[in-house]
Amino acid sequence: MSDRSRGRGRGRGRGRARGQVTAKPYIDIHIRLRVTDTPGQFAPGRSRPDSSPRETERQPPVPHYRDSSAAASPQNSSASAVAGTHSTAAFGTAVPAASQYPSACADSTSTDVSRSERPTEQARRVAGDRAREKGAPASLNSIPAIPPAQTGTSQSTSRPASRLQVPAATGSSGSTSVASSPAGKPDWKPPLRPGFGVEGKPIELRANRFKVSLSDKLQHIHHYDVKFDPAELKPPKISWKIIETWSEKWKRDLGGIRPVFDGKANLYTARLLPLPNKTAKYTVNLKVSPDDKEEKTFKVSITWAADISIKQLNDALAGRIQSCPQVIIQALDVIMRMTARVTLTTIGRSVFGSRRPESLGQGREVWFGYYQSVRPNMWGVDLTVDVSATTFYEERPVVEFMCEVMNWRDFRGSLSPRDKAKFLSEIKGLRVVPNHLSYQRKFMVIDVTDEPASRLSFPLDQEDGRVVQCTVAKYFHDKYKIALQYPELPCLQVAPKEKKCFFPMEVCKIAPKQRCLKKLNEKLVAEMIKKTACRPAARQKEIRGFVTEANFNRDPYLQDFGIRVDTRMCELPGRVLPHPQLQYGGEAFAVVSPKEGAWDMRGHKFLTGKSVHNWALLCFASADERGGQGGRGGRGGRGGRGGRGGRGGGGGHQTDSGQCCCWNFVRQLQGMSRQLAMPLCGDPRFHEHGNNHWQLESLFDAMIKTCRETELIVVILPERGGGKDEYSELKRLGDLVYEIPTQCVKQKLARECKPQVLANVCLKINSKLGGVNVAIAQHLRCPVFKRDEPVIFLGADVTHPSPQAGRNEAQPSIAAVCYHISETSVTKRQLT
């Protein structure tokens, strides 16, 4: 049912706009304004000139960490909620940050002299307050004013200040002066938001953040650069084993120091390593895999890089410097994740392996784990923990894997060229483990042979020096005493390609711990959602379980650095705002009050409905769903319902009852549209059935010739393949070429004709045609919406290609910008 088509009325002789872009919800638009040194201008982030110092000095609520098992107060126990910061699907961010709530606006037109003096008065008042707190006898008159020419632009900062910070120095006369930067301009810093809301019912929120405490003894984290010889390690993850072997071998020489490693080139320690001249080279011998008979030699070069001062972190948290050094957070992240990297499976910042996976089907399984990240905030350093899930390939025989991905219940014994191409797309790049060898070794699949094992031959050297052609099936029978059960199956060709190494499918299994990077189809996505979706209470329980399993306070690496983690969730104050009242149309302009975020549309009409007089219907439903074939009329004839006209009056397909699923859907949709005050008038002026997306352009051309004033195209998509091909081509033609709004409905939903589905389709159609479905009640609207001037909403988003998509050729990222003006929907897109 989701339909993202957005367009305008086709511009042939019509200038009115009829489209609307609905961007993703909760999109933040960050606009950076360049402010000159003109008097009367204020940079974003500064306090309002007329804001009182009392508002500026208000402190934000400080979270507290206490035992979550403690009973909540009776008035709040029923309204308690869980807040989080990693995923906003079930957890809401409830941390007020100064940088997220700018309390100023830019004024680039006002030249009032009195206003230009107010920032100086504001700074002088706050500086005077700070001087009095320190015991200096300062007054507002004793603070020198700042000339307008010295006013600097606002500086962006990620530090939530505890209050407006104005660097001050106490002179010999006891007065406080504003410190200036080396360039002669004052070092302005953005203030806090002027205050906090008070509306709504107070509740207590628990966020998935856990307080991190650093020992006072930890003054520096020592950073070292690591280089390997050879530089390119195969596999790359062997670097972990090299560092682990090095630290164990030279443990006594290192004085018991436990180094942590990020897997690339950065190593951190709590104490200085005893390296002569701050650099040393070591030789490490180890087996890359358990199957190797001999050890390989690696050379490791470790060089001191820098001492990371913890004082900088403390200064940033206390507000003495503007930003928190990222190098400190990066080092803490590596330290917190070191044990998990050694014992479990890590992907980025997520940790997997402690929970049993569940099968998704088609050879995939979902792994459950947790995400962790160290983040600074206005109260200290927290560890954010959230549930995480990803897909891996199941460890199973290749023949079973093939039956799963091909959706075969029983094996046929051979592969057609089409089946082979589909199976190759699934298994190419995966690693398999042959089970006929005396050792375990992984091979990467690069191809599937055209010939089966019974006919695929290769030159085989005999003991007497002769070279004979031998089939793969005969070779396995003679050498390994294995009689192939499926000799008509093709073989797997493994890397390297030059060696031409082949394995029968039935002697191989999918290697474990292989992450699935390919895009999941609709069926797997739906199954993935079922496996991972959970309510906030269950999610909170899982997060606590992961924190308990991690056992951070007994982690030897964290103990070496003197780091402790509070196992109690952060508790924050929150408010449940009252539901806004919604206004619908009709004669009475009914007002609806939602309950728990939902409301009933039945019996209500759209606030502004758009009627449709010229519209078309395209049906790509399969033949068995269309019903029997009716008579076809001439091109342009109207015809009767039993044998409807051709391309002029609608298609000629009908069931035995005289009406196919398409026409039943049309009648039901028209009835619902009349109830909602956006009628679809008359039968579609153009109605045609299609078989595939290649016919769409010719159908559009025929539609334009039949009805040049087409306002809307309703399309019924087939169940096969989810209608992806038809959907993509339809949106390209409708949005970019013909500029006609389109509405897609899946075949199954069109057949069922549920009232809720029909109402949702009407919601989308009315929005695309420029109508207004519902609005906030007039008396509750913000002042900006009560004016006569139009209001613009901006939306922006960017889509990046998947990692799998960029393997063969570079794939671009697509950025889009859209806007909506007042009650008239206008669409604007900028694609790059």
pLDDT per position as a tens digit, 744-789? 999 889 988 999 999 999 999 999 998 889 988 888 888 877 777 7
Residue 670 zone, left/alpha/beta (φ > 0; ψ -120 to 50; rest): alpha
Could you tell me how far CA 452 lies from the centroid of its own chain?
Answer: 44
Instruction: State which of 46-55, 173-182, 536-545, 794-803 shows the largest mean pLDDT.
Output: 536-545
Q: State residue 131's pLDDT score.
A: 47
By C-alpha distance, which of 718, 702, 698 is closest to 646?
702
Rounded distance, CA 450 to CA 369, Å? 41
Q: State residue 201's pLDDT score.
A: 92
Q: State residue 359's pLDDT score.
A: 94
Mean of pLDDT values over 572-589: 87
Which pair of structure tokens corresponds to residue 436?
Answer: 């006929």
Rounded distance, CA 39 to CA 189, Å? 18
By C-alpha distance, which of 163, 101, 160, 95 is closest to 573?
95
H or E stretch at 422: helix 417-427
Rounded distance, CA 568 to CA 553, Å? 13
Mean of pLDDT values over 506-518: 93
Q: Report the half-sphere exposure of 324 (CA within 13 A, side-chain side).
A: 23
**C-alpha separations of 23 from 27, 29, 616, 754 in Å:** 8, 12, 26, 26
Q: How confident is the model at residue 190 (pLDDT cuts 50, 70, 90)?
A: low
Instruction: Please tell me the least confidently modeled range out of 368-372, 649-653, 718-722.
Output: 649-653
Q: State residue 511's pLDDT score.
A: 94
DSSP string over 774-799: -EE-GGGS-HHHHSSS--EEEEEEEE
Rounded distance, CA 383 to CA 316, Å? 17
Q: State residue 742's pLDDT score.
A: 94
| pTM given for the model | 0.67
Instruction: Please tell me the least confidently modeled range out of 160-174, 273-287, 701-715.
Output: 160-174
Which pair of structure tokens corresponds to residue 714?
Answer: 């309703």
Q: Higher-confidence residue: 25 or 716?
A: 716
pLDDT one-digit tens code per residue, 78-123: 333 333 344 433 343 333 333 333 333 333 333 333 333 334 444 4
Q: State residue 411's pLDDT score.
A: 72
Q: State residue 302's pLDDT score.
A: 94
Instruction: State which of 172-181, 190-199, 679-688 shows the largest mean pLDDT.
Output: 679-688
Q: At what angle do helices 326-343 and 310-318 cross, to 10 degrees?
A: 120
Q: Higher-confidence residue: 823 or 735?
A: 735
**Predicted confidence (pLDDT) at residue 183 exceeds the cutoff of 60:** no
Per-residue buried b or exposed e for 618-654, using 16+ beta carbons within 10 Å of the residue's own CB? bbbbeeebbbeebebbeeeeebeeeebbbbbbbbbbb
